[in-house]
Amino acid sequence: MGKRILLLGAPGAGKGTQSKQLAEKYDIDHVTTGDALRANKDMETEYGTPRSFMEKGELVPDAVVNEIVKAALEDADGYVLDGYPRNLSQAEYLTEITDLDAVLYLKVAEDELVERLTGRRVCSECGTNFHVKFNQPEEEGVCDECGGELVQRDDDTEETVRERLSVFEENTQPVIEHYRDEGVLVEIDGEQTPDDVFEDIVDVVGE
């Protein structure tokens, strides 16, 4: 059985960046509700489209994301879960459908999060993350991995970033406290270089 890793952290904490490396190292699936929703933005649900929530920085209804996660975990032999659970009701649902081997919290201060998110650039082809200052591609606007075009996410504007961070404080911070109370949360200093963050995570998860 592959490792089952839960990676918690605010928007911009580096979950996607680390998950990509972890999925490779442990040969497990990268399960990310954000990417899954972006790929199905205009899917009609009884609540409206994911887009209508995402462009405001609000959470997509639990029923929609729970379904995505259930299907993805059923198919996975080990996974790193990124972007879920984002509220206590999602955390309860997760407990019903799976066990976890490690619960990690990437901690980053709010000012740094704003700078990371507003400077993030994402490959439109393969989804690799870059940053205009902290993680520049070799050629501006072009993905190092696949040559795809780098774009800014619609929700990475300053105004929507502020809303997403306040949604995190209100809804997701209690999820972090829930795992802390259970005694399973391991806090990682997310303000180090990506390589140092990765080393700390591997120290916790093991070989």
Catalytic residues: 15, 86, 120, 153, 164
For 82, which DSSP code?
E
Distance CA 137, CA 6 (A): 28
Distance CA 52, CA 142 (A): 29
From ligand ADP, ligand AMP, none, which one binds at residue 194 (CB under 5 to 8 Å depending on kind)?
A: ligand ADP
- Amino acid, res. 68: I
**In the bound complex, which residue of the shown chain has the CB atom lying closest to ligand AMP?**
34
Query: For 204, phi and psi rounded to 5 degrees?
Result: -80, -45
Q: Which is nearer to ligand ADP, 9 or 50 (CB)?
A: 9
The answer to whether the peptide bond before residue 137 is cis (omega within 30 degrees of 0) is: no
Q: Which is nearer to ligand ADP, 45 or 163 (CB)?
A: 163
Is residue 194 within 8 A of residue 18, CB to CB? The reply is: yes
155, two tokens: 């929700």
Distance CA 61, CA 98 (A): 20
Q: Which of 5, 6, 8, 13 binds ligand ADP (CB under 6 A)?
A: 13
Stretch that binds ligand AMP, among 1-9, 21-29, 57-65, 129-137 (CB under 6 A): 57-65
Per-residue binding string, ligand AMP, 121-140, x by CB under 6 A, is: --------------------
Q: How far is the CB of 58 from ligand AMP (least distance, A)?
A: 6
From ligand ADP, ligand AMP, none, which one binds at residue 98 (CB under 5 to 8 Å depending on kind)?
A: none
Cα-only R_g, the chain: 16
Q: Is 59 annotated as a binding residue?
A: yes
- Using DSSP bridges, classify how beta strands 120-123 and 102-107 pair: parallel, antiparallel or unpaired: unpaired
Summarize as ranges the residues that interact with ligand AMP (CB under 6 A).
11, 33-34, 37, 53-54, 57-60, 65, 83-84, 86, 90, 155, 164
Residue numbering of the annotated binding site for ATP:
12-17, 120, 192
Residue numbering of the annotated binding site for AMP:
33, 38, 58-60, 83-86, 90, 153, 164
